[in-house]
Amino acid sequence: MTRILYLFVAELKREWILLRRYAAEAISGIIGLVIVFYGLFLSARYVAGPTAQLGDRLDAIVVGYVLWSLSIFILGDIAGSLQREAQTGTLEQILLSPLRVSYLFLIRAIANLSIQFLLNLFVLLAISALTGSQLSFSLAAVPPLIAVVLGAYGLSLGMGSLALLVKRVQQVLGIVQFVLLFLLTVPIETWAGSSQIFGMLLPMTPGAGLLRTVLAQGKPVELVPLAIALVNGCVYFGLGLVIFWWAEKIAKRQGKLAGY
């Protein structure tokens, strides 16, 4: 366990060094995200008309958008990391580690996420400043956020598996980004009956709905929806791990771990 902690710190240090050394890349990423959102916001306000008050709905959109950008990052992280390592010729050195590849890339992804959280905080502050949206930050948002992040890592491991087997996943990632936008912004909390049950089965959706309730509407988290969101996150995370193990085995059998 201490080894994992040391490795996490080493990964964090590596990411931080790279972020500082190549700060322009990170800053341009933040500016890009803020500009896209501000563009979307201006269009929405234009369509709604000058007198419309977006209020809670704007806050919900902000939460959805920031979650979306965070999830896109998580989703592409493992696959992207695998591809970058393969292209720069360090993947095999990484794979010579005594730790399982899936754990290694998860530790790395979590270290990346910590840095990304920081960057997203800047995005959130910038968006709030630009749009006048004021989110109520609450500790109650942490459990649903964990549920969303778990689901996102599950999908990320799935994309990583794909990257192990078919190498190039950019096209798939591009499409999945829009599926993600749907998953994270679809208001299943307003759905009823069988469609609500369907919504609960979708990856990350229950957690994202709860986050909107807490952050945008300032309501408390109810236990049952939270349990559903957490189970949903754990199931997708577990599925991701199993698929990754399977893909790793196939890639080793087919000799695909090395050459890109």
Partner 1 sequence: MSSGRAQLPPVFVYLSSDDIMLVLTASHLRKTYREKKEDLLAVKDVSLQVAAGEVLAFLGPNGAGKTTSIKMIAGLILPDAGSVKILEQDPHLNPKALRLLGAVLEGNRNVYWRLTCQENLEYFGVLRGLHPKQARLRSQELLERFSLTHKRDRVVQALSRGMQQKLAIAVALMHQPPLLLLDEPTLGLDVEATEDVKRLVREIAVEGCAIVLTTHQLAIAEELSDRVAIINNGEVTVEESTDELIRQFSNSAYLIETQESIPLVQQQKLEALGVELESDRRIHLAEPTLLYPVLEILKPLPLLRVEIDQATLRDVFLKLIRQP
Q: Which residues bind partner 1 (CB under 8 A)?
A: 3, 6-7, 9-10, 13-14, 17-18, 21-22, 88-90, 92-100, 104, 249, 252-255, 257-258
Compare residues 98 and 132 and give the one whose CB is closer to partner 1. Answer: 98
Question: Whole-angstrom Cα distance, residue 8 to residue 14?
Answer: 10
Residues 7-18 as b or e (16 or more Cβ within 10 Å = b): bbeebbeebeee
Compare residues 9 and 40 and give the one whose CB is closer to partner 1. Answer: 9
Compare residues 56 and 92 and give the one whose CB is closer to partner 1. Answer: 92
Closest CA to 70 of 23, 122, 107: 122
Compare residues 3 and 190 and give the one whose CB is closer to partner 1. Answer: 3
Closest CA to 75 of 166, 151, 186: 151
Query: Nearest approach, Cβ of 75 to partner 1 (angstroms)?
Result: 24
Query: Nearest approach, Cβ of 81 to partner 1 (angstroms)?
Result: 12
Question: Whole-angstrom Cα distance, residue 128 to residue 110?
Answer: 26
Compare residues 13 and 168 and give the one whose CB is closer to partner 1. Answer: 13
Compare residues 44 and 95 and give the one whose CB is closer to partner 1. Answer: 95
Query: Nearest approach, Cβ of 17 to partner 1 (angstroms)?
Result: 6
- Contacts of 252 by beta carbon, 8 Å cutoff, 6+ apart: none
Question: Whole-angstrom Cα distance, residue 123 to residue 28?
Answer: 11
Compare residues 8 and 38 and give the one whose CB is closer to partner 1. Answer: 8
- Contacts of 96 by beta carbon, 8 Å cutoff, 6+ apart: none
Question: Whole-angstrom Cα distance, residue 127 to residue 138?
Answer: 18
The token pair that represents 36 in the structure block = 């896209």
**Helical axes 101-131 vs 2-21, angle rounded to 10°:** 50
Query: Are 95 and 56 within 8 A, CB to CB?
Result: no
Query: Are 196 and 217 within 8 A, CB to CB?
Result: no
